[in-house]
């Protein structure tokens, strides 16, 4: 059998709220058994010391904390539906989500995939409580119960298309589910599988059954293979593992807890009783699993036994093991069972054992077993080649093999053989040259949530987790980019130190204004404009820090350098590295600025920042034209080098003058000055003149007398002026046949407008570009009118952003720059990506990190809210019981309980009580929505979407339709086709019924 990797897991068991707590419980041999909680049943009512008819002999068991808590808002499930759902479904939803995160997968990324779901389940006590209360059966009660729904609910909410099934083989259910999941992976029915087990005890029924069958331990504790063993103690819990074919897990760089090398399932058949264990069948299932795993029994270092602690069960199990291991008296196999810590978790027993074995192999130590100090002498374990684990067993640093048994009360047996993860599962550090080693150890830490309070809660959980970590911060950031995405409210910040990152997360969690801003951030992807800066922003050594720290930028600048070098005669990269002042000479300035602009734009594109529109200031248009595909890189390199060299060869004597006045006021002064022209119009009162120095002196004098502010610019030549005329013919010849139409919208600063379809950036355009004025203000205003959400300036330092702000851009436009200061590097590029991610962009993170940084780290999984509670009244002997308070869930804070209670519940109040629903029709519609969904009126707002926010579906919509026909009789029956277009939001629905009501009144 090909090996199956366990790449993720999560669980909740008695005394252990998560996998870390579970491991700690096992390592300290903790006892998680205690008194039956009051919300399950009155243990005194059902307990009898002699185990009389209809009673249990114990009031003890293993129970998880808060099985009634469920974050229904996270899964967009209405309170009414959540209250009707079996808590086993609710627990599985949350645990499956966390297990997928633990595997390094964003759960939402699996939507539409063939991922399979296999759930082992034995008890359905919630259904027994609800489906026998016939007067209160609803559509929600129906879909909220049933074995199939435990698996199908996960597939539905995560939109998984692979096999989805629940299996009941009693106590072996969840290990059989693992067996089926492995086979589905091997048959390539799915590429990822969730295997799970769940058990929640709501009634004393099985406790009474165990007592009447003589199987129940009076103290409620399983004592596996011990001289103290006297029966079963009940337990509960939930566990989920994420499985993949090992070769796929390795290819995707996923961490591996352990591998499953073989599984087997069989049945006792007709033996000495349907509930009695059969030694021969157990032996056969062991042999089959070993055979499929291709191992010799002597290779098995330890086995996690079924270990119920019943006299017959322990005897049969050890005899079956002994048949295969008795020759190992000199090196006995270790045996234990987690049931000594938790009790018998029934349908979840197999998954509890599997997670224990996987963690033992992962940590290379097997925890000691409770009650192992006094082994049962009747079992003759030494003769069987077996020893109980009285102390933790240290495993060797290389591979170890382990077994896991789970036997069903009805005779269905399962066994699995596991082994340590192979050495290659730890992703090797990719080697690289000095440049790779110099890459900054930092990144962008991302987090997303469904409400502001959920964001606050998870910020704190992540900060706490990071305080425990000692690993490269880039690895943490990369992992967050892969896993912590997919929800409406997005948080991100650049990080280069774990300690500072943790402090920043705590500070953000304490900042109510920041959380509010995140909640109110518009949804949707950004519409980004790239603005390319022109000559004048260059400096020696510009962008070299980014070149050292960012592999992506280094790769793109090297590519531009390679295109320029044949024409320039030397390397622009070396020019910048040496901080050569020649970068200010026109012949070098223009190609160097082009290289920087091209490399920055391509780096952003590589990381997923794609421009929707482009604008270039003067020579900035060359890089813009390459991005727009009007020029190839080689064509642009030839043109920009030729341009710079021809300009550099022009005689000195020209200058430029910045005038803080509108172009129209200056135009009369240019009459009679043929050697001066308008070089640029950068804003309503920002005009640049260029030309002959003597002529500029005359104009400056007149401007000064008119009290207009004038500033001389330090330039080598009179760019964009009539003095460029001598080079035009040579340049036109060099540009002949070069250029074409654009693929992306380009707002030309030669034309001062959007280039029209078919309007080429050809030789004529680039020749005109040399002496024509730069119509930046006109081009930028046209671009802003097109509605970009973000303007990203491309250049070595910010200049154009200030010009754009003076043009009165639309409200909400964000001006961003990847290099806001002269010392900027990868950290500032990370800041730009963080801002764009928060605003809706999904970056291609792999382009931002070097190969060695793209290694998964396990982060703290999503922290769900426990503020909403859904449960039933405690079981009694005679009363019919159902929802404690239907349709609203129990535990909801009453009206007026205060802001703190609101915050704990994660509720964002969008409207005060009925204030948002004035008028009879609006009130009737809102009341119907509240009643069907189980909401309080003050939890509703006109903006709330019926499907996405309130959890409505086709069933509840039909219920809503009927209720509104009763509440608004004057409207009469509304057909489904008429109603469907109005189901976007509550406000739209109210508007629809108000129009129908008005029309009905007018017609009467």
Q: What are phi and psi of 847, to 5 degrees?
A: -75, -20
User: How is residue 114 written in tokens?
Assistant: 């063939």
Catalytic residue at 363? no
The alpha-carbon radius of gyration of the chain (Å, integer) is 36
Sign of CA dihedral 12, 482, 166, 305: negative
DSSP H stretches of helix in 786-887: 800-805, 826-838
Q: Is 844 helix (H, G, I), strand (E, B) or coil?
A: coil
Alpha carbons within 13 A on the beta-carbon side of 899: 1
Could you tell me whether strands 164-167 and 116-121 are parallel, antiparallel, or unpaired per DSSP bridges?
Answer: parallel
Q: What are phi and psi of 260, to 5 degrees?
A: -95, 115
What distance, in Å, lies between the first and last C-alpha atoms of the chain? Answer: 76
DSSP 863-914: ------B--BPPB-SSS---BSSSSSPTTPPPTT--HHHHHHHT----S-TT
Q: What are phi and psi of 323, to 5 degrees?
A: -60, -25
Q: What are phi and psi of 990, to 5 degrees?
A: -60, -45
DSSP 716-751: SS-TTSGGGHHHHHHHHHHHTT--B--SS-EEETTT
Q: Is 53 helix (H, G, I), strand (E, B) or coil?
A: coil
User: How is residue 28 written in tokens?
Assistant: 């300290």
Q: Which of 11, 171, 182, 477 is catalytic?
A: 171
User: How is residue 189 written in tokens?
Assistant: 């029915």
966 Cβ contact partners less than 8 Å away, ≥ 6 residues apart: none
Cβ proximity of 330 and 209 under 8 Å: no
Q: How far apart are CA 153 and CA 164, in angstroms?
A: 9
Q: Is 818 helix (H, G, I), strand (E, B) or coil?
A: coil
DSSP 228-278: T---B-BB-EEEEEEEEEHHHHHHTT---SEEEEEEEEEE--S-S-TTS--
Cβ proximity of 741 and 609 under 8 Å: no
Q: Which of 306, 415, 720, 868 is catalytic?
A: 306
Q: Which of 157, 344, 487, 717 is catalytic?
A: 344
Catalytic residue at 171? yes
Cβ proximity of 662 and 681 under 8 Å: no
Catalytic residue at 617? no
Cβ proximity of 168 and 347 under 8 Å: yes
Rounded (to 5) percent helix, strand, coil in the chain: 45, 15, 40
User: How is residue 421 written in tokens?
Assistant: 């993860």
Cβ proximity of 935 and 79 under 8 Å: yes
Sheet containing 710-713: order of strands: 676-683, 686-692, 654-659, 710-713
323 C-beta neighbours (distance < 10 Å), count: 18
Q: Write down the residue that tokens 């973000």 correspond to.
A: 790
Q: How far apart are CA 965 and CA 975, in angstroms?
A: 11
User: How is residue 910 written in tokens?
Assistant: 């969008």
Residues serving a catalytic function are: 171, 306, 344
């Amino acid at each position: 059998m090909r090996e199956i990797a366990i790449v993720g897991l999560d669980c909740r068991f008695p005394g252990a709220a998560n996998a870390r707590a579970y491991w700690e419980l096992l390592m300290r041999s903790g006892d998680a058994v205690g008194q039956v909680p009051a919300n399950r049943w009155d243990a005194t009512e059902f307990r009898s010391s002699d185990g009389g008819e209809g009673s249990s002999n114990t009031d003890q068991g293993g129970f998880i904390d808060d099985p009634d808590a469920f974050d229904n808002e996270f899964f967009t499930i209405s309170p009414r539906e959540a209250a009707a759902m079996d808590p086993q479904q609710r627990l599985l939803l949350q645990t499956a989500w966390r297990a997928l995160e633990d595997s390094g997968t964003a759960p939402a990324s699996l939507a539409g995939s063939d991922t399979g779901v296999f759930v082992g389940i034995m008890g359905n006590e919630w259904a027994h409580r609800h489906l026998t209360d016939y007067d209160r059966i609803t559509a929600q009660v129906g879909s909220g119960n049933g074995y199939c729904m435990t698996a199908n609910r996960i597939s539905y909410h995560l939109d998984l298309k692979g096999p989805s099934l629940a299996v009941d083989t009693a106590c072996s259910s969840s290990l059989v589910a693992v067996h089926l999941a492995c086979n589905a992976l091997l048959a390539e029915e799915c590429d990822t599988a969730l295997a799970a087990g769940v058990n929640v005890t709501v009634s004393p029924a099985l406790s009474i059954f165990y007592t009447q069958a003589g199987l129940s331990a009076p103290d409620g504790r399983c004592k596996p293979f011990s001289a103290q063993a006297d029966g079963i103690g009940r337990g509960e819990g939930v566990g989920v593992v994420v499985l993949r074919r090992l070769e796929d897990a390795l290819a995707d760089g996923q961490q591996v807890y352990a591998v499953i090398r073989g599984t087997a399932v069989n049945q006792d058949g007709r033996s000495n009783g349907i509930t009695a264990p059969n030694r021969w069948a157990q032996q056969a299932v062991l042999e089959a699993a070993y055979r499929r795993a291709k191992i010799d029994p002597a290779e098995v270092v330890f086995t996690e036994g079924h270990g119920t602690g019943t006299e017959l069960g322990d005897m049969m199990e050890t005899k079956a093991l002994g048949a295969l291991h008795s020759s190992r008296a000199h090196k006995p196999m270790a045996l234990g069972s987690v049931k000594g810590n938790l009790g018998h978790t029934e349908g979840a027993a197999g998954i509890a054992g599997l997670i224990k074995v996987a963690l033992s192999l992962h940590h290379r130590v097997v925890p000691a077993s409770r009650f192992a100090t006094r082994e049962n002498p009747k079992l003759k374990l030494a003769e069987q080649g077996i020893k109980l684990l009285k102390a933790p067993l240290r495993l060797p640093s290389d591979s170890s093999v382990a077994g896991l048994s789970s036997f069903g009360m009805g005779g269905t047996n399962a066994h699995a053989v596991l082994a340590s993860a192979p050495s290659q599962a730890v992703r090797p550090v990719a080697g690289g040259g000095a440049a790779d080693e110099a890459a900054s150890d930092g990144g962008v830490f991302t987090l997303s949530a469904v409400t502001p309070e959920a964001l606050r809660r998870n910020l704190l959980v992540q900060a706490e987790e990071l305080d425990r970590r000692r690993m490269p911060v880039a690895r943490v950031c990369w992992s967050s980019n892969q896993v912590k995405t997919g929800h409406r409210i997005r948080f991100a910040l650049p990080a280069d130190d774990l300690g500072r990152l943790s402090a920043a997360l705590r500070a953000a969690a304490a900042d109510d204004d920041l959380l509010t801003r995140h909640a109110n951030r518009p949804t949707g992807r950004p519409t980004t404009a790239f603005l390319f800066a022109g000559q004048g922003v260059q400096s020696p050594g510009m962008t070299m820090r980014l070149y050292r720290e960012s592999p992506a930028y280094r790769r793109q600048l090297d590519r531009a350098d390679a295109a320029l070098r044949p024409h320039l005669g030397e390397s622009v990269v070396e020019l910048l590295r040496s901080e050569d002042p020649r970068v200010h000479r026109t012949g070098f300035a223009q190609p160097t600025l082009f290289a920087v602009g091209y490399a920055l734009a391509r780096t952003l594109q590589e990381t997923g920042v794609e421009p929707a529109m482009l604008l270039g200031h003067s020579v900035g248009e060359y890089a813009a034209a390459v991005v727009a595909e009007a020029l190839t890189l080689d064509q642009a390199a030839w043109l920009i080098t030729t341009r710079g060299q021809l300009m550099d060869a022009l005689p000195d004597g020209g200058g430029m003058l910045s005038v803080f006045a509108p172009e129209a006021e200056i135009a009369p002064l240019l009459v009679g000055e043929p050697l001066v022209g308008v070089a640029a119009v950068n804003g309503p009162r920002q005009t640049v003149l260029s030309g002959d120095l003597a002529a500029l002196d005359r104009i400056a004098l007149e401007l000064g007398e008119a009290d207009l502010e004038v500033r001389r610019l330090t330039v080598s030549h009179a760019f964009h002026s009539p003095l460029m005329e001598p080079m035009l013919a040579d340049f036109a010849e060099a540009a002949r046949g070069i250029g074409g139409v654009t693929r992306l919208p380009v707002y030309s600063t030669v034309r001062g407008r959007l280039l029209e379809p078919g309007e080429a950036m050809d030789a004529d355009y680039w020749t005109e570009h040399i002496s024509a004025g730069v119509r930046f203000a006109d081009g930028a205003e046209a671009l802003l009118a097109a509605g970009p959400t973000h303007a990203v300036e491309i250049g070595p330092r910010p200049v154009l952003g200030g010009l754009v702000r003076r043009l009165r851009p639309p409200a909400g436009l964000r001006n961003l720059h990847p290099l806001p200061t002269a010392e900027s590097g990868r950290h500032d590029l990370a800041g730009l990506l963080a801002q764009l991610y928060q605003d809706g962009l999904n970056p291609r993170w792999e382009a931002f990190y070097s190969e060695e940084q793209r290694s998964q780290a396990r982060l703290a999984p999503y922290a769900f809210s426990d503020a909403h509670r859904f449960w039933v009244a405690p079981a009694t002997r005679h009363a019919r019981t159902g929802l404690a308070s239907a349709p609203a869930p129990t535990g909801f804070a009453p009206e007026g309980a205060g802001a703190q209670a609101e915050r704990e519940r994660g509720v964002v109040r969008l409207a005060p009580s009925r204030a948002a629903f004035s008028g009879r029709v609006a009130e009737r519609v809102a009341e119907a929505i509240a009643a069907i969904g189980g909401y309080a009126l003050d939890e509703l707002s006109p903006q709330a979407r019926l499907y996405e926010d309130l959890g409505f579906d086709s069933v509840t919509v039909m219920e809503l339709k009927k209720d509104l026909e009763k509440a608004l009789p004057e409207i009469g029956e509304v057909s489904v086709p008429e109603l469907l277009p109005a189901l976007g939001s509550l406000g739209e629905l109210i508007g629809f019924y108000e129009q129908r009501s008005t029309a009905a009144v007018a017609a009467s």
